[in-house]
A and B are shown apart, each in its own frame.
Chain A
Amino acid sequence: MIHKILIVDDSPVSRKMLKSCIPKDREYQFVEAGDGLAGIESFKKHQPDVTFMDLTMPVMDGITALMEILKYNESAVVIVLTADIQIKSINRALDAGAFLVIKKPPTRERIQGVLSQAEAVLRKKS
């Protein structure tokens, strides 16, 4: 079951948009970080079940943060949520180990769908 969700995005608006798309049928615990480096620290501290990661961020970009998180925990479920929808960027994120890449702006249907997929994978792992 997904309980804890980490959102790594430099835009507070983007974080708010994503949170509003997460189903309200369950009480999730949210942790937020404003750049890739803070995202890695939050991941290590809070051990989230699922992480949403932006790509274009100050201090440390999302691809670097994604790779660092997977080095720390290779079974981490990191979903990239990005405005950078160039094929090369999507492929880079998938090659780096992203669970899925979804484009901004998020929709409730899409987020609900990816969380269901993530939950199914987490269930298999446990």
Chain B
Amino acid sequence: MNDTQISEDEQDILQEIMNIAFGQAAAELAEIINIFVVLSVPYIRMIEAVDLPGYIQTEFSEFGNISIVEQNFWGDFKGTALLIFPAGSGKELVSLLDDSPAAEFQYSDILEKETLMEVGNILIGACVGKVAELLKDMVTYSPPKVIVEDHPDITMSKTLFDPANSAIILKTVFCFNERNVHGFLFLITSHKSVVWLKTALADFMKQYE
């Protein structure tokens, strides 16, 4: 195994870290907008960067239209976070963030985008932030961007994802129980993070030896 591949043991550690991080993110979201998030066991996979767009499109082929909140993050841990919902989920979530009385409530596409952006910002920020904290890193973020797509064509940053290299996908499926909305959070880290990540994971586990 070379230094840009992660072993099964390292994947297990990363899975547990992602589990802790998404738990933290869900708790923060629950506190802010009073929603219960049903969590699932995270999934980790190493993939060739060139296959990333196809992989993501395959994952969501059954949904048809989807809404994506995209946010890049930079630190030693660097990559792209994608929060993906079936299109229309934003409508379900709007009322959670809107304090106006029902009579004054007016739905709009802009409001839906803002809601998705807010939910995305909280979940991605808390999740990526916790991964970074556990691995003793500090990250900065690009502003979140909402894309509502008929046919998602995910264009990965060529700076972060050199098609000649590999990337690690960390996927968590979640469900907002009260609104019957489910979604997916992907953290996709670039090959540039892998060497650092291997050391950081080993350091993380040293405290448990």
Contact = CB atoms under 8 A, between A and B. Distances in A.
Contacts of B37: 86
B26 interface: yes
Contacts of B209: 20
Contacts of A94: none
A12 B30 CA distance: 28
A88 B41 CA distance: 19
A85 B26 CA distance: 8
Contacts of A21: 208
Interface residues of A, number: 23
Taking residues whose C-beta sits less than 8 angstroms from the other chain, chain B's interface range is: 20 to 34
Contact of A82 (B12, B23, B205): B23
A58 B41 CA distance: 7
B138 interface: no
Nearest to A103: B23
B27 A85 contact: yes
Contacts of A87: 27, 30-31
B24 interface: yes
A41 B209 CA distance: 29
A115 interface: no
A13 interface: yes
A87 to B, nearest CB: 7
Nearest to B26: A86
A88 B177 CA distance: 12
A101 to B, nearest CB: 12
Interface string A1-15: 000000000111110
A20 B208 contact: yes
B19 A17 contact: no
Contacts of B205: 13, 16-17
A85 B24 contact: yes
B208 A16 contact: yes
Given A20-B209, A21-B208, A86-B30, A12 B20 contact: no
A11 B208 CA distance: 14
Contacts of A16: 205, 208
A95 to B, nearest CB: 14
B16 A17 contact: yes
Contacts of B40: 56
B36 interface: yes
A103 B26 CA distance: 13
B71 interface: no
Contact of B24 (A14, A83, A88): A83
A70 interface: no
Contact of A13 (B12, B21, B27): B12
Interface string A38-60: 00000000000000000011100
A65 to B, nearest CB: 15
16 contacts: A10-B41, A13-B13, A13-B16, A14-B16, A20-B208, A20-B209, A21-B208, A56-B19, A56-B23, A56-B40, A84-B26, A84-B27, A86-B23, A86-B37, A87-B31, A104-B19
Given A20-B208, A86-B36, 7 more contacts: A11-B16, A17-B205, A56-B19, A84-B27, A85-B24, A86-B26, A88-B36
